[in-house]
C-alpha cells in the first residue's frame, strides 16, 4: 500500500532495507521497506518477538539499526549523532507501553519534559519554562480530560490517566511523527478504547501521522487507516483494515485453531 505523500511530495517517513541484528547473523528485522504517509494511524500487528517494538525504536534511534536507511522528511536519521541526533529526536514523539513518566514529578512537570529538547538546560533545571509552553501544557491537559490534575503526582494516577499524560507529553514536542509502542496493553478494554480514541482525535487535529504497535487486531481495524502485519521480522501484509482477511492473519500469526 503506497503511503500518501507529505507536503514536499514524498512521505514524511521512509524506511529502506532496515535490518537489526542483536546477535550477528540472527536478524530481528529482515530488510524492512516501509513508507508512512502524512496523516492517520498506521497500526503494526504481529506476534510477540517479531520485531514490532524494535522497528519503532530503530526509527527514533533508541535502538541502533544494523543497516538500512530511515528518512524523516528527507533527513537520513541513521547517519546522525550528537547534537544533530538530539535535534532529530525532538521531532519524533513517543508514547510508551509502561507510560515512562517520572513518578515523583507532577503531571505538569511531566508534560513540560516534552519541551526539554527546546529549552536551555538551566531553564529546565530551575523549572523556568516559557509562558507559551506552560499555556500549551494546560491546554493539552484539558484536551486529554485532566484539567484538574496539573499538580497531582504521576504515581497517584491510574493507568489510563498516566497514558493520557504520556500522549499529552508527546504532543508537547509538536512532533512531526508520533510512535506509540503498545500503549493500551496495560489497560482494561474500555480504557484502551478511550485512550485510542483520544490518540486518534488529537493527532488527527494536529496533523501528526502515527505508527502504532498493537496486539489487539480488532482495535487496529477500528482505529487505523492502514495495517502492517509482521511475521518473523518481515512485512507480510500491508493494506487497509477492510482488506485484512483470515488468510492474512494466519500468515501473520501462524496456526489455525486460534481464529
* 10-residue mean pLDDT series, the chain (259 residues): 59 97 96 96 96 97 97 96 92 93 94 79 66 94 97 96 96 96 94 97 97 97 98 97 96 75
CB-facing half-sphere around the CA of 3: CA atoms within 13 A = 25
Does residue 106 form part of some domain? yes
Same domain (yes/no): 109, 170: yes
Same domain (yes/no): 2, 82: yes
Rounded CA gap, 54 and 46, in Å? 12
Does residue 203 form part of some domain? yes
Does residue 162 form part of some domain? yes
Q: What is the pLDDT of residue 128?
A: 73
Same domain (yes/no): 149, 259: no
237: its cell numbers: 501484509
CA nearest to 58, candidates 83, 35, 32, 37: 32
Strands 67-72 and 13-23: antiparallel
H-only helix segments in 100-240: 107-112, 121-125, 131-143, 159-172, 189-206, 217-223
222: its cell numbers: 477500528
The share of the chain scoring above pLDDT 90, in percent, equals 83
Same domain (yes/no): 198, 227: yes
Same domain (yes/no): 68, 81: yes
Average pLDDT taken over every residue of the chain: 92
Phi, psi at 117, each rounded to 5°: -75, -5
* Total tally of structural domains belonging to the chain: 2
Does residue 96 form part of some domain? no
Same domain (yes/no): 118, 62: no
Q: What is the pLDDT of residue 256?
A: 66
H-only helix segments in the chain: 52-59, 82-89, 107-112, 121-125, 131-143, 159-172, 189-206, 217-223, 246-253
The three-point CA angle 32-36-39 to 5° equals 165
Q: Is 7 helix (H, G, I), strand (E, B) or coil?
A: coil
Same domain (yes/no): 184, 167: no
Chain position carrying cell 502492517: 228
Q: Where does a domain end: 174, 195, 220?
A: 174
Same domain (yes/no): 83, 202: yes
Query: Range of 134's domain?
Result: 102-174
CB-facing half-sphere around the CA of 1: CA atoms within 13 A = 20
Same domain (yes/no): 42, 124: no
Does residue 237 form part of some domain? yes
Q: Where does a domain end: 143, 174, 205?
A: 174
Task: State the pTM of this model.
Answer: 0.92
Q: What is the pLDDT of residue 10?
A: 82
Q: Where does a domain end: 174, 206, 226?
A: 174
SS3 content of the chain, % helix, strand, coil (to 5): 40, 25, 40
Q: How many residues does the chain have?
A: 259
Same domain (yes/no): 14, 80: yes
Does residue 97 form part of some domain? no
CATH number of the domain to which 15 belongs: 3.40.50.300
Amino acid at each position: 500500500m503506497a503511503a500518501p505523500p507529505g507536503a514536499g511530495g514524498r512521505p514524511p517517513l521512509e524506511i529502506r532495507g532496515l535490518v537489526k541484528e542483536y546477535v550477528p547473523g540472527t536478524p530481528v528485522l529482515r530488510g524492512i521497506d516501509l513508507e508512512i504517509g502524512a496523516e492517520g494511524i498506521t497500526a503494526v500487528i504481529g506476534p510477540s518477538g517479531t520485531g514490532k517494538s524494535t522497528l519503532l525504536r530503530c526509527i527514533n534511534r533508541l535502538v541502533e539499526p544494523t543497516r538500512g536507511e530511515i528518512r524523516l522528511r528527507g533527513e537520513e536519521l541513521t547517519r546522525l549523532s550528537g547534537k544533530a541526533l538530539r535535534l532529530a529526536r525532538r521531532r519524533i514523539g513517543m508514547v510508551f507501553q509502561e507510560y515512562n513518566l517520572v513518578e515523583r514529578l507532577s503531571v505538569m512537570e511531566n508534560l513540560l519534559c516534552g519541551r526539554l529538547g527546546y529549552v536551555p538546560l538551566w531553564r529546565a533545571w530551575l523549572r523556568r519554562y516559557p509562558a507559551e509552553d506552560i499555556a500549551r501544557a494546560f491546554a493539552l491537559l484539558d484536551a486529554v480530560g485532566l484539567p484538574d490534575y496539573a499538580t497531582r503526582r504521576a504515581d497517584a494516577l491510574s493507568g489510563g490517566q498516566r497514558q493520557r499524560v504520556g500522549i499529552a507529553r508527546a504532543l508537547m514536542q509538536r512532533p512531526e511523527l508520533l510512535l506509540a509502542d503498545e500503549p493500551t496493553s496495560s489497560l482494561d478494554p474500555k480504557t484502551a478504547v478511550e485512550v485510542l480514541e483520544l490518540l486518534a482525535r488529537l493527532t488527527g487535529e494536529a496533523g501528526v501521522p502515527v505508527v502504532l504497535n498493537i496486539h489487539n487486531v480488532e482495535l487496529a481495524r477500528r482505529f487505523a487507516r492502514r495495517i502492517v502485519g509482521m511475521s518473523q521480522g518481515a512485512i507480510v501484509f500491508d493494506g487497509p483494515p477492510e482488506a485484512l482477511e483470515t488468510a492474512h492473519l494466519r500468515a501473520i500469526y501462524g496456526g489455525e485453531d486460534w481464529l
